[in-house]
Amino acid sequence: MPEPLHEPNGVNGASGSRHLNVEPYDAGLHRVGTWQGYYVWRTRRRTRQGSDSRRDFLRSYLHVTTLSKSKRTVTLRFPDIDFQHTWNIDDLPWAIFQRPDKKKYYYDLVTTLDPDLLAAVQPHLAEVSHHKSEEVRKIHRSSALSFLYIFLSIGSPAFHGCIYTLRSTIPIGAGLGSSASIAVCLAAALLLQLRTLSGPHPDQPPEEARLQVERINRWAFVAEMCIHGNPSGVDNTVSTQGKAVVFQRTDYGKPPAVHPLWDFPELPLLLVDTKQPKSTAHEVKKVSRLRETHPKLIGNILDAIDRATRTASELLEHPEFDSEDPEGLRKVGELMTINHGLLVALGVSHPRLERVRELPERLARLETKLEAEGYERFETTLGGDGVGVLWPAVLKNGLEDDEEGGMEIDVEKFLNAEGIAGVERLVGVDNAGRGEGWRFWSVESH
C-alpha cells in the first residue's frame, strides 16, 4: 500500500502541516454534491436562499491538516453539529483490521460491514460526546463510526496524524443527502492522502476519471452503511460523480441498480424545504400495504412511474435536448407533474407538499408566499460536477491588487468563516474567481 502523503514542516507556511481541501459538489474541501430524496439526480446545488439576492450553496467542505510525525493523533471536527473528538492513532484496533482475513484495500468493493470490525470500533466510540444528550450522541457516534471504519479499512498504523474539519451547508435530516456528501469528502480525502488517486487533471480521459470516481464512491458507500445500515447508494453516487443517476429496484432481495447518466445536462431547479418531518421507512410500508391489498392496481401505478422516469431519461439524454429551450423544459416539467400525481395516488404526499405544487401557478407571489408560510427555498442546478479538490488550499483569484490572493486557507480561517456566506467566500467554487484552484474529475463522454 502506498505510504500516506506527508510533507516536511513549513509546507504552505504552516509549521508541521499540509492543508488539503476536498469538496463533493455540495461537499467541502473535497467537493461532493448530493441530494437524497429530492433528487435521483443531482450533485451540484447552486442556490439562492429565501429572498436574499446572494446565492447560497448546498455543499459540504472538508479541510484536511496533516500534522508532524511526532503528533500521533487523528481529530474529526464538525462544528456545524458541535462535534469534535480526537483519537490516538496507535490505540486504534489496527490488529484486527490488518488481519489477512479482514484486510481491505483501496480498490476493493465492500458491500457489507464486518460484524467483528464493527465490534472492534465500538470501544473507541464510548467517549464520543459523552457529555451530550443521547439524541446528540447518537448522531455524533454514527459520524465517528463511519469515519473510523473507512480510516482503519484503507489506512495503516503508519498513517500521519491529521485534523479533518467539516463544514456543511446542507440541512441534516431533511432528505438532502448530507451524510453522503460528507462521506464522499472523507473517502476522497483519505484516498488522496494514500496516493491511490491520480488527478483530477485537465488531460485525464473520461474513462480514467470514472475509475477514480468509482473508487471514491465505493468507500463513501461503506461510510453510508455505517450510518444507515442499508443505503440505496444513490446519494453517494450522485455526490461523487455529479451529473445524475437512474435508480431501479426490481427485486428487494437483490441490490438496486444505479446507472450513471454521464452526459446529463445542467438544469435549473427550485428546491423547497417544507420543514415537514418525514420517514422514508414509514412511507415505504404504506405503499407495501396498499400493494398487498390492491396488487394489480398498485402494480399499474408503479409501472406508470417507471415509464414516466424512462421517458424523462430518454428526453434528457437525447443529443438535441437543450436545457435552455423552454419547450424542452416544459416537457420535463409535465413529466414531473405526472410522476408527482402518481405518488399522490400511492399516498406518499403531504398537504404542505401539495401547497408547494399549487403555488407556482401564481408564480409572481411564490417567493412571498413561501416565506410567509415557513418554507425555505433554494434555486439550484441539477447535473453539475461531482467531487473536486482544492490542493494546495490557497486563495486564488487572479487579481494583482488582491492582497489575499495566494494566502493559505488554514484551519483557523476555515473554522472562523461565518455561516454559509463566509464559507463560500473563503473556499466557494463559484465565488467570483476564488474557485479557480478547484479541480474536478471530468466524467463526460464528450
- Provide, for the chain, the percentages of residues in helix, strand and coil under a 3-state DSSP scheme, each rounded to the nearest 5: 40, 15, 40
Verify cis geometry, omega within 30 degrees of 0, for the bond prior to 200.
yes
The answer to whether 90 is a known catalytic residue is: no
245's CB contacts (< 8 A; 6+ apart) are: 40, 41, 234, 237, 238, 258, 259, 260, 261
For the chain, the farthest-separated pair of C-alpha atoms sits apart, in whole angstroms, at 71
Report the C-alpha gap between 377 and 212 in whole angstroms: 34
Q: What single letter denotes the amino acid at residue 99?
A: R
42's CB contacts (< 8 A; 6+ apart) are: 33, 34, 35, 238, 244, 269, 380, 382, 383
Q: Which of 235, 251, 385, 401 is an active site residue? A: 235
Cα distances from 101 to residues 38, 97, 98, 115, 181, in angstroms, run: 40, 9, 8, 13, 30
Report the C-alpha gap between 370 and 352 in whole angstroms: 11
Find out whether 346 and 290 touch, Cβ atoms under 8 Å.
yes
Report the C-alpha gap between 217 and 114 in whole angstroms: 19
118's CB contacts (< 8 A; 6+ apart) are: 145, 149
**Cα atoms in the 13 Å half-sphere on the side-chain side of 258:** 20
Report the C-alpha gap between 416 and 86 in whole angstroms: 20
Q: What is the CA radius of gyration of the chain?
A: 22
Strand 162-168 to 73-78 pairing: parallel
Find out whether 438 and 242 touch, Cβ atoms under 8 Å.
no
Residues with catalytic annotation?
A: 235
